[in-house]
A = this chain, B = another copy of it.
Amino acid sequence: MTPQKGKLNLVPFVSVDNMMKLILSIGVEEIIEGIANQIESDFRRWESFDKTPRVASHSKEGVIELMPTSDGEVYGFKYVNGHPKNTKEGLQTVTAFGLLADVYTGYPVLLTEMTILTALRTAAMSAVAAKYLAPKDAKVMAMIGNGAQCEFQALAFKRICGIETVRLYDIDPIATEKALFNLQDSGLKVIRTDSHQECVSGADIITTCTADKQCATILTDNMVGSGQHINAIGGDCPGKTELHRDILLRSDIFVEYPPQTRIEGEIQQLDQDHPVKELWRVITGEEKGRTSDNQITLFDSVGFAIEDFSALRYLYGAIKNTAFYDELDMLADPDEPRDLYGMVRRAANPIKTAAE
| A55 CB → nearest B CB, Å | 5
| A interface residues (Cβ-Cβ under 8 A, vs B) | 8-9, 13, 15-17, 19-21, 23-24, 28, 50, 52, 55, 57, 59, 61-64, 66, 68, 70, 72, 75, 77, 79, 81-83, 86-87, 89, 91-93, 95, 97, 99, 101, 103-108, 113, 115-116, 119, 146-152, 175, 178, 181-182, 328-334, 336-345, 347-348
| Known contacts A24-B347, A86-B106; A148 and B330 CB within 8 A of each other | no
| Known contacts A61-B104, A75-B64; A93 and B337 CB within 8 A of each other | yes
A21 near B347: Cβ-Cβ < 8 Å: yes
Inside 8 A of A13's CB, which chain B residues have their CB? 328
B57 near A55: Cβ-Cβ < 8 Å: no
| A74 CB → nearest B CB, Å | 11
Inside 8 A of A70's CB, which chain B residues have their CB? 57, 59, 64
Q: Apart from A59-B70, A61-B105, what are 5 other A-B pairs with CB-CB below 8 Å?
A: A15-B328, A52-B57, A62-B106, A83-B105, A86-B106
Inside 8 A of A89's CB, which chain B residues have their CB? 105
Question: Most chain-B CB neighbours within 10 Å: which of A17, A101, A104?
Answer: A104
| Known contacts A62-B106, A64-B75, A333-B92; A341 and B15 CB within 8 A of each other | no
| Copies of this protein in the complex | 2
Q: Which residue of B lies closest to A115 (CB)?
A: B332
Inside 8 A of A115's CB, which chain B residues have their CB? 331-332, 340
B342 near A182: Cβ-Cβ < 8 Å: yes
B28 near A344: Cβ-Cβ < 8 Å: yes
| Known contacts A332-B16, A337-B87, A344-B23; A108 and B116 CB within 8 A of each other | no
Q: Which residue of B lies closest to A172 (CB)?
A: B338
The CA-CA distance from A268 to B99 in the complex, in Å, is 33
B147 near A338: Cβ-Cβ < 8 Å: yes
B103 near A108: Cβ-Cβ < 8 Å: no
A332 near B83: Cβ-Cβ < 8 Å: no
| Known contacts A95-B332, A115-B331, A332-B92; A82 and B64 CB within 8 A of each other | no
B59 near A103: Cβ-Cβ < 8 Å: yes
| A86 CB → nearest B CB, Å | 6
B103 near A61: Cβ-Cβ < 8 Å: yes
- Of B24, B83, B342, which one neighbours A178 at CB under 8 angstroms? B342
| Known contacts A64-B106, A347-B24; A16 and B341 CB within 8 A of each other | no
Q: Which residue of B lies closest to A149 (CB)?
A: B340
The CA-CA distance from A322 to B61 in the complex, in Å, is 32
